[in-house]
Amino acid sequence: MTPAEYIESIISRIAALEFVAKTNLLREFSNTQKGHLRMRIAFTDGSFLEFYEYVETDESDIRVITYAYHWSTTDGNLIQRWDNTPHHPELENFPHHVHLGETVTAGRALNIFSVLAEIGQRLRPADE
């Protein structure tokens, strides 16, 4: 898969999600080796996700090099943020970490697909 194909797969997947109300493509770039995508997604509950991913390929696989996924309430308060900015070396799985309000915990390597799956589970009514 090329970086362009990976970015297109993200955009297509987001467009198909029932809990997405609106999208705004902020930046898209790709060539044969690298790709960058930045988007803002509004969800049906009024919350929104602003994210970026920078990816590279080694000809057989896409690797997410840097990422940040910032999920906020309608009025802009942080719900959760996943990122790999290297500013919490004390945490297990450095540099991957999660912000929940003022609390920062160890995270894991992930991509937009796993973040959207988690958000989707949390937005679905409890009786589904």
CB atoms within 10 A of CB 28: 15
124 falls in which pLDDT band (50, 70, 90)? confident
Write phi, then psi, for 68 (nearest 5 degrees). Answer: -155, 130
**What is the pLDDT at residue 58?**
82
Residue 125 — pLDDT band, cuts 50, 70, 90? low
pLDDT at 8 over 90: yes
Cα dihedral 125→101→43→115 (10° resolution): -80
Q: Is 63 helix (H, G, I), strand (E, B) or coil?
A: strand
Q: How far apart are CA 25 and CA 38, in angstroms?
A: 6
Question: Could you read off the pLDDT of 44-84 as tens digits, one per residue?
Answer: 999 999 999 999 998 779 999 999 999 999 999 999 999 99
The pTM (predicted TM-score) of the whole model is 0.93
- Alpha carbon 96 to chain centroid distance? 13
**pLDDT given at position 56:** 96
68 touches 52 (CB < 8 A):
yes
pLDDT tens-place string over residues 82-119: 999 999 999 999 999 999 988 999 999 999 999 999 99
Would you kindly state where each structural domain of the chain is located, as residue ranges?
Answer: 3-123
